[in-house]
Amino acid sequence: VIDRFGDPPPSVYTLVQVALLRADAGKVGVTDISQKNGCLKFLLAQFDMQKVSALYARPEFKGRLKVDAGAKPGVILRLKTRTHVIEQARAFVSAWADAQGDRA
């Protein structure tokens, strides 16, 4: 994305990445992604414990996932410190797609 003024600022690239992530997430039933206190929370259109269990079994999420069984059930992912947040969110969305047999 270059225009006559040169490269856009990094924040523009981040906004594009977030938009693409949200589009991919929506395709596989992730209705909302929010970040708070070093964690990402993923709200799911259809909460299926068997599919969530498949995520718990994945080594990249070992010890980092928690089920939130509140009014809007979802999955909470504790963030790694040296990995970009969007990469971690994308990894979750991809794993959720795999658990459903879809591809994001």
CATH 3.90.1150.50 describes domain 10-100: yes
Question: Once rounded to an integer, what is the mean pLDDT over residues 3-10?
Answer: 82
Q: Could you report the per-residue pLDDT of 35-75, keeping only the tens digit for each? A: 999 999 999 999 999 999 999 999 999 999 999 988 888 99
Return the pLDDT at 41. 97
3 pLDDT higher than 60: yes
Q: What is the mean pLDDT of the chain?
A: 91
pLDDT recorded at residue 104: 53
Arithmetic mean of pLDDT, 65-91: 93
Q: Is the pLDDT of residue 103 over 70?
A: no
Rounded Cα gap, residues 32 and 21, in angstroms? 11
Q: What is the reported pLDDT for 69?
A: 86
CA distance to 24, 37, 54, 78, 94, per residue, from 101 (Å): 14, 31, 12, 24, 10
Asked if residue 45 lies in contact with residue 31, where contact means CB atoms within 8 angstroms, the answer is: yes
For residue 26, what pLDDT is reported? 95
